[in-house]
């Protein structure tokens, strides 16, 4: 972003500043990266209690009409038709090559919420492209309404948390960040996201296929992939950051790191990255190149910190 670019603000911008947030540019918005307590304290507070993240910069899009769910299934490989009121589902838009255009959440609100149809929450950097994608492909089958005036919150009783802790928390949880761990060149199967494709939309399912890239994704379900997204734990204390190349014992490049940090909860360097499938088994030791020094890392199942999700 150029120095002259004007940053957008969320409805909570003044409140962040009142709370003493350090603000930074993020996806075209003026966003809080941390509050006075600091990233480590915010991370631990969220683990032990709960944190309030301002994600109002993300895109919210409403789809209305009796054909909205079926229409959306033409663009995502997940079960939208089967969503019940009050349920939400993780999904991804795919391109004709089976790559991920964006990942998103799909919500079917309760009727008494005063909101019919479907609500989509998409990534801030992709929201304009996502809206154009929806309008181009299913705009004649349902009404598509962007909701730029809406903010997104958790609960007013919890401590405000910035982008820094959000990143360390999602990495410890093994969650992908679009544009870093997944992008248009990666398929959901390579990324280990096949859990998000329900049985009814899989190759032998009742509503199989019918979305961009279905041939590749269906083939990878049965044949596997040449590379995989993996979790990595450092054997030394130095964190390994995005972009570091990964090498085998002979020094051959076999992958790269896409996200990395020192995990505040697990108190170890943790990372995610891509490895050739033959070297992606848990327990495999690889070496990350950090400024010319080779640091050993072990392929490890994710999440790095145990989930405590409540349904």
Q: How confident is the model at residue 165 (pLDDT cuts 50, 70, 90)?
A: very high
Cα separation values, 88 from 102, 202, 206, 215, Å: 17, 19, 21, 26
pLDDT of residue 158: 79
Cβ-proximal residues to 103 (8 Å cutoff; 6+ apart), any chain:
90, 91, 92, 93, 123, 176, 178, 182
Residue listed under structure tokens 């789809």? 63
* % the chain with pLDDT above 90: 86
Cβ-proximal residues to 239 (8 Å cutoff; 6+ apart), any chain:
260, 261, 262, 269, 271
| Greater model confidence, 157 or 280 | 280
What is the C-alpha to C-alpha distance for residues 33 and 23, in angstroms, rounded to an integer?
6
- How large is the average pLDDT for residues 214-242? 97
State yes or no: pLDDT of 65 exceeds 80: yes
State yes or no: pLDDT of 3 exceeds 80: no
> Is the domain 226-311 a CATH 3.30.1780.10 member?
no
pLDDT of residue 85: 93
State yes or no: pLDDT of 267 exceeds 70: yes
Is the Cβ–Cβ distance between 271 and 277 less than 8 Å? Answer: no
State yes or no: pLDDT of 31 exceeds 80: yes
What is the C-alpha to C-alpha distance for residues 138 and 28, in angstroms, rounded to an integer?
27
* % the chain with pLDDT above 70: 95
State yes or no: pLDDT of 113 exceeds 80: no
Is-same-fold flag (13-57+153-172; 226-311)?
A: no
Q: String of b and e for 232-246 (b: at least 16 CB within 10 Å)?
A: bbbeeeebbebebbb
- A 10 A CB-CB count for 297 gives 27
Average pLDDT, the chain: 94
> Nearest to residue 59, comparing CAs of 143, 142, 149?
149
* Superfamily per CATH, domain 13-57+153-172: Probable tRNA modification gtpase trme; domain 1 (3.30.1360.120)
What is the C-alpha to C-alpha distance for residues 122 and 154, in angstroms, rounded to an integer?
17
pLDDT of residue 155: 62
Q: How confident is the model at residue 229 (pLDDT cuts 50, 70, 90)?
A: very high
All structural domains of the chain with their residue ranges: 13-57+153-172, 226-311
């Amino acid at each position: 972003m150029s120095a002259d670019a004007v940053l957008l603000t969320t409805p909570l911008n003044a409140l962040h500043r009142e709370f003493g947030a350090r603000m930074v540019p993020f996806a075209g918005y003026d966003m809080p990266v941390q509050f006075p307590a600091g990233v480590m304290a915010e991370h631990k507070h969220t683990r032990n209690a709960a944190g309030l993240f301002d994600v109002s910069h993300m895109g919210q899009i409403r789809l209305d009409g009796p054909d909205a769910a079926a229409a959306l299934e033409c663009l995502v490989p997940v079960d939208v038709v089967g969503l019940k009121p009050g349920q939400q589902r993780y999904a991804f838009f795919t391109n004709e090559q089976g790559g991920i255009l964006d990942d998103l959440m799909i919500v079917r609100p309760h009727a008494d919420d005063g909101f019919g149809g479907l609500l989509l929450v998409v990534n801030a950097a992709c929201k304009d492209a996502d809206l154009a994608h929806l309008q181009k492909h299913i705009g004649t089958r349902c009404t598509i309404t962007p909701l730029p005036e809406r903010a997104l919150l958790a609960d007013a009783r919890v401590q405000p948390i910035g982008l820094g802790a959000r990143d360390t928390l999602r990495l410890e949880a093994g969650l992908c960040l679009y544009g870093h761990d997944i992008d248009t060149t990666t398929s959901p199967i390579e990324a280990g996201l096949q859990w998000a494709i329900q049985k009814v939309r899989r190759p032998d399912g009742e509503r199989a296929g019918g979305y961009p890239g279905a041939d590749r994704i269906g083939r990878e379900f049965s044949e596997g992939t040449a590379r995989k997204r993996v979790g990595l734990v450092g054997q030394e204390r130095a964190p390994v950051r995005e972009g570091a190349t990964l090498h085998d014992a002979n020094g051959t490049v076999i992958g790269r790191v896409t996200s990395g940090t020192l995990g505040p909860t697990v108190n170890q360097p943790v990372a995610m990255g891509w490895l050739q499938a033959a070297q992606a088994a848990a327990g495999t030791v690889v070496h990350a190149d950090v400024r010319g020094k080779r640091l050993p890392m072990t392929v490890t199942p994710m999440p790095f910190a145990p989930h405590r999700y409540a349904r």
